[in-house]
Structure 1
Amino acid sequence: MNRYKIETAVGLFVFIGIVCIAYLTIKLGKMELIGSNYYIVYAQFDSVSGLKKDSNVEIAGVPVGRVSSIKLDPKEKIAIVGLKIAKDIKLEDDCIASIKTRGLIGDKFVKIIPGGSDTFLKPGDTIVDTESAVDIEDLIGKYVFGNVDNTNDKELQ
Structure 2
Amino acid sequence: METRAIDWWVGIFVLLGIAALVVLALRVGNLSGFAYDSGYVLHADFSNVGSLKTRSPVKIGGVTIGEVTHIGMNPKTYMANVTMRIEPSIKLPIDTGASIYTQGLLGEQYIAIQPGGMPQNLKPGATITMTQGAVNIDQMIGQMVFSKAAGSSKSSGSQ
TM exceeds 0.5?
yes
2:33 aligned residue: 29
Instruction: Give yes or no for contact 1:56–1:66 (8 Å, CA) kept in 2.
Output: yes
1:155 aligned residue: none
Within 5 A, what are the aligned runs for 1:89-128?
89-128=90-129
Count of residues in Structure 1 that have an aligned counterpart in Structure 2 = 121
| Pairwise CA distance, 1:117 | 0.4
2:89 aligned residue: 88
Q: Is the partner of 1:69 in helix, strand or coil?
A: strand
From the superposition, tell whether residues 147 and 119 of structure 1 become closer, same or farther in structure 2 (CA, over 3 Å). Answer: farther
1:53 aligned residue: 54
1:20 aligned residue: none
From the superposition, tell whether residues 38 and 55 of structure 1 become closer, same or farther in structure 2 (CA, over 3 Å). Answer: same
Distance in 2 of aligned mates of 1:52 and 1:137: 19
Alignment of 1:72 onto 2:73: yes
Instruction: Give yes or no for contact 1:142–1:148 (8 Å, CA) kept in 2.
Output: no
Tell me, which stretches of 5 or more residues in structure 1 are unaligned? 1-27, 151-157
Q: Is the partner of 2:147 in helix, strand or coil?
A: coil
From the superposition, tell whether residues 147 and 66 of structure 1 become closer, same or farther in structure 2 (CA, over 3 Å). Answer: farther
1:12 aligned residue: none
1:62 aligned residue: 63
From the superposition, tell whether residues 117 and 146 of structure 1 become closer, same or farther in structure 2 (CA, over 3 Å). Answer: same
From the superposition, tell whether residues 93 and 147 of structure 1 become closer, same or farther in structure 2 (CA, over 3 Å). Answer: farther
**Aligned-pair RMSD on alpha carbons?**
2.2
Question: Which deviations, in whole Å up to 9, do the C-alpha atoms of 1:109-130 show, x marking residues without a partner?
Answer: 0000110000001110000100
| Pairwise CA distance, 1:104 | 1.5
For normalisation by structure 1, the TM-score amounts to 0.71
Q: Is the partner of 1:146 in helix, strand or coil?
A: helix
1:154 aligned residue: none
Question: Which deviations, in whole Å up to 9, do the C-alpha atoms of 1:58-99 show, x marking residues without a partner?
Answer: 001100000010010112100110011000000110011000
From the superposition, tell whether residues 66 and 147 of structure 1 become closer, same or farther in structure 2 (CA, over 3 Å). Answer: farther
Tell me, which stretches of 5 or more residues in structure 2 are unaligned? 1-31, 152-159
Letter of the 2:42 counterpart: V
| Pairwise CA distance, 1:31 | 6.2
Q: Is the partner of 2:138 in helix, strand or coil?
A: helix
Letter of the 2:139 counterpart: D
Distance in 2 of aligned mates of 1:149 and 1:132: 28
